[in-house]
Amino acid sequence: MTIFFLEFRQFLNATICAAALAGSFEPARAEMSGWIANEGGRMRLIALPPGRDGMMRGALQIEPKPGWITYWREPGNSGIPPQITVARESGITLTAIRYPVPKHLVDGKIDDIAYDAPVSLPLTFSAKNASRSLELKASAFIGICKDICIPFQAEFSLPIAAANQSRPEEEAILKNAEASLPEKPSSQFKVISHKFSEDMKELWLQVALPDGGDTAPEVILTGPNGYVFTRKLMSKRDGKNFSTSIAVDKLPKNYEIARKSWSVLIIDGGRAMETPLAFD
């Protein structure tokens, strides 16, 4: 994959951006936008009415075309993580974006954490006044890549109808999106211990896995915003017990780890678990 980003994260020229913004459109309906497409795929927004507490469930559906990819929240060496902005006049705030389990794609110099198939990102919104009519106005910006990377931006406007209506299609999409998220840590699948080396060049992890096996699981370690680490310096698996050392190749200058929280995603066969890592 050839990446046309300066320092891997800058945008393409204005001509390509304008083409990405233009896209093609399909009709919308309440709580589900029409698809907006570009050369590499399409996306749409779903949002259900707020409950009495003002909380709203939603999802950004992204469908890359075959051979194309789109990115996880920390893309790796290249790419653009998904960005969603809600207009202030909507009276709605985006409070959380959650990410289904990605793939770690390695090809020569390319080391991406991405999705190469349709993916739905679960979203949580908060409405300031759930009793009045609402219109969700939002902008989504993603990177979508094949031989080149194209920034893809879409503008959405969704009228939010009454909460007492049945929405089986939207509910099914959100249910499937939430089912694709990594598990939370449990007694059978968790990080038992984590510790930095004195020089902060590697992080040691001891992990309890849910099933036996002899293949090392995938480990995706995320630190400060924009930093992700996947290279194993050492790995040992004994059935459900796994230990590894992850190379921490670069951190911000004068970075202090005390009282910081990182995150690790561990993918073992068909199961995945994500957990925060707190540092004293």
- The domains of the chain are located at 6-179, 190-278
**Within this chain, domains 6-179 and 190-278 share the same CATH topology:** yes
**Closest by alpha carbon to 160, among 60, 58, 55, 48?**
48
- Is the domain spanning 190-278 CATH 2.60.40? The answer is yes
Q: Collapsing DSSP states into helix, strand and coil, what is residue 122?
A: strand
- Beta-carbon contacts of residue 88 (< 8 Å; ≥ 6 apart): none
Identity of residue 228 = V
What's the CATH architecture for 6-179? Sandwich (2.60)
Other residues' Cβ atoms within 10 Å of the Cβ of residue 134:
22
Q: Taking 60 as the threshold, does the pLDDT of residue 179 lie above it?
A: yes
Q: Where are the strands (E) in the chain, listed by range? A: 24-25, 36-38, 41-47, 55-64, 69-76, 83-86, 92-97, 103-107, 110-115, 119-127, 134-145, 149-160, 190-196, 202-208, 218-222, 228-229, 232-238, 241-247, 261-268, 271-278
Largest CA distance in the chain: 58
User: Two tokens at 43?
Assistant: 């996306």
Answer yes or no: pTM beyond 0.95: no
Q: Is the pLDDT of residue 16 over 90?
A: no
Task: Give the alpha-carbon dihedral of 148, 119, 49, 161, to 10 degrees.
Answer: 70
- Could you read off the pLDDT of 82-139 as tens digits, one per residue? 999 999 999 999 999 999 999 999 887 778 999 999 999 999 999 998 778 899 999 9
**Tokens matching residue 25:** 């459109």
Q: 69: which 2 tokens?
A: 């990819």
Question: Quick one: tokens of 97?
Answer: 């974006």
Query: Distance (Å, rounded) from C-alpha 44 to C-alpha 26?
Result: 10
Rounded Cα distance between 189 and 211, Å, is 9
**pLDDT confidence bin for 164, thresholds 50/70/90:** low
The pLDDT assigned to 174 comes to 96
